[in-house]
Chains A and B, each alone.
Chain A
Amino acid sequence: MASSGEDRRAWVPLGSLPEFADVTPLPQDDGPSPVVAIAYRDEFRETMDYFRSLYSSRELSPRSLLITTLAISFNPANYTVWQFRRQVLEALDADLTDELDFTERVAKGNAKNYQLWHHRRWVAEKLGSDAAYRELEFTRKIFYLDAKNYHAWSHRQWVLQALGGWENELDYCVQLLEEDVLNNSAWNQRYFVVTKSPLLGGLKAVRDSEVDYAIEAINMNPQNESPWRYLRGLYNDENDAWLNDSRVPSACLRVLKAKRNFKFALSTLLDLLCLGFKPNQEIRDAITSLRTPDSGEVGSDSDLAKSICSILGHEDPMRANYWTWRSSKLPQAAEV
């Protein structure tokens, strides 16, 4: 709830205000047998009674705008109120930059509210590409408090695609990842930028440096799932290129040799083997040295893959059944 105890002391009944003297409040119709009826506070009930009245008479006036402000403060999830507010704003030809200020105030206690973000998008769309900078700044402020706010990320992606502002986006991802390399939202945004930015030339143009970037992150924190997924994602639907980038198995080898936090290194090698990757002796030796008593010999490639699944059953025991299943699904060795 948005209202605090302080607001309650300050509440002035709408019925006593001259601005609303000619409005007949319209009570909520819950029908003859209400189920789970809500125990509304008087201020809420009165506000909504006045909202219903103005809404049903379709009055698009300054006092209607005020009533939506009040109603939103009580329940910012009421989408009918927000929709009516938009109609009023249009009818009054209101200055929408004021509306940006309003949404920022509502966002303070309600940063994860769908209606708020939809409203913000509506305002930004009306303001056009001039609004891009302010929208990027707004989401940046939200990320300062919660760098993974899903709504804010959706909004930011929409802003970039609809209004522009791509110039500093990659730098922003770098900054966020420097602050927290575990921020999966920032990794996702990075993927979004390198694949969709009109300024970078497309994924293929930047893939090389992105592979290096991901591997650097892997080297620092091999247990961080995000850069592993990112690395694989850079080669989605391009298995030949994935198989031929020698930096990938090298990165896996480096992690294996350290003998700690190697589950993603192993599953990445498993993925490569299933696609036909031919590992060198160094990789075979590294896997051999991680073998557990039941891992078996690592003779052929399919034996190697089976060994990996077995090691993963011990290294990633929560998913032991999954690794057993993966082992049973391995491509047969016989096909040459």
Chain B
Amino acid sequence: MISIQNGSHLASTYCALAILKIVGYNLSNMDSESILTSMRSLQQPDGSFMPIHIGAERDLRFLYCAAAICFMLNNWNGMDREKAKEYILNCQSYDGGFGLTPGSESHGGATYCAIASLRLMGFIGDDCLSNASAPSSKANIQSLLDWSLQRQVADGGIQGRPNKPSDTCYAFWIGATMGTLGANKFIDEKALRSFLLTCQSECGGFGKFPQELPDLYHSYYGLAAFSILGEAGLKPLCLELGVTEAAATGL
């Protein structure tokens, strides 16, 4: 059989490396150079990333993939971090959250990509909260915090955007963002836990809303959210990579 030409894709590369880490493969055995060279040419003048050379949409998701890849390979030659940071800051909306592109509505998933990327690239330290109100050329952390925390709504669940229904996966997107900033104690954990349990299906796994059939995506993020909440029996996560700490450090 002949294999057909298959251009590499940043999301696939991120997933492949993360899976390898999860199963305990030593990434230093990989040919990082070719991955990083290929990645460099995917970064755009404004700092964003295209996922594939033949062309596709560009937004924060692929910047996150690039940052995660460089982090896992422990080699930042694949991207210009300063330019990437600039693009991320341009994605911060007037209300403190981040959109997928500059000007886009702030969104829980985009906000995770922004903050996790900044953390991976080394632009967010452990002392983020104590400097929250300091004016700087960095992200406006105070308004980000306020916006993110208001995403938890009356039913205890978390919504992705103001005035939208709560959805299991945002428990991770927003929960992990807060965790990265050291602010997860500001989330009402009891209420969130309670909401997530209503999204758990009788046949196992989680759906997006209560009564919805489960799917792999919401099951993963529901479980990940429970890990952030400190659920007994679940391993701690490396929030910015989306894998367990054990997998992230290779132990």
A118-B57, A182-B163, A191-B94 given; A26·B103 CB < 8 A: no
Judge whether B242 is part of the interface by a CB distance below 8 angstroms. Answer: no
Q: Is the CB of B104 within 8 A of A188?
A: yes
Instruction: A234 to B96: give the CA distance in the assembly, Å.
Output: 13
Q: Is the CB of A56 within 8 A of B94?
A: no
Chain A residues whose C-beta falls within 8 Å of the C-beta of B164 in the assembled complex: 148, 184
Interface size class on chain B is: 35 or more
Q: Is the CB of A118 within 8 A of B95?
A: no
Q: Is the CB of A153 within 8 A of B186?
A: no
- Residue among B56, B101, B103, B183 facing the most chain A CB atoms (10 A cut-off): B103
A83-B54, A188-B93, A236-B94 given; A154·B163 CB < 8 A: no
Chain A residues whose C-beta falls within 8 Å of the C-beta of B186 in the assembled complex: 319, 321-322, 325
**For residue A229, which residue of chain B has the nearest CB?**
B95
Instruction: A56 to B47: give the CA distance in the assembly, Å.
Output: 33
A188-B105, A321-B185 given; A154·B133 CB < 8 A: no
Q: Is the CB of A267 within 8 A of B104?
A: no
Judge whether A233 is part of the interface by a CB distance below 8 angstroms. Answer: yes
Judge whether A192 is part of the interface by a CB distance below 8 angstroms. Answer: yes
Judge whether B100 is part of the interface by a CB distance below 8 angstroms. Answer: yes
Query: Quick one: which of A49-66 are within 8 Å of B by CB?
Result: 52, 55-56
Q: Is the CB of A150 within 8 A of B152?
A: no
Judge whether A202 is part of the interface by a CB distance below 8 angstroms. Answer: no
- Residue among B106, B163, B185 facing the most chain A CB atoms (10 A cut-off): B163
List residues of B whose CB falls within 8 A of some A CB. Answer: 1-7, 9, 52, 54-57, 59, 93-96, 99-101, 103-107, 132-133, 143, 145-147, 149-150, 152, 154, 156, 161-164, 183, 185-186, 188, 191
- List 26 contacting pairs A-B, 8 Å CB cutoff, sorted by A: A55-B4, A79-B9, A80-B6, A80-B7, A83-B55, A114-B57, A115-B56, A118-B57, A148-B161, A150-B104, A154-B100, A157-B103, A183-B163, A184-B161, A184-B162, A184-B163, A184-B164, A188-B99, A188-B106, A225-B163, A229-B94, A229-B147, A234-B94, A318-B191, A319-B152, A322-B149
Please give me the 5 A-B residue pairs with the lowest Cβ-Cβ distance, nearest first: A233-B94, A229-B95, A188-B105, A322-B186, A182-B163
Known: A122-B55, A188-B105, A229-B162. 16 other contacts (CB 8 A): A29-B1, A80-B7, A117-B57, A121-B57, A150-B105, A154-B100, A157-B103, A184-B164, A225-B163, A229-B94, A229-B147, A318-B154, A319-B149, A319-B188, A322-B149, A322-B183
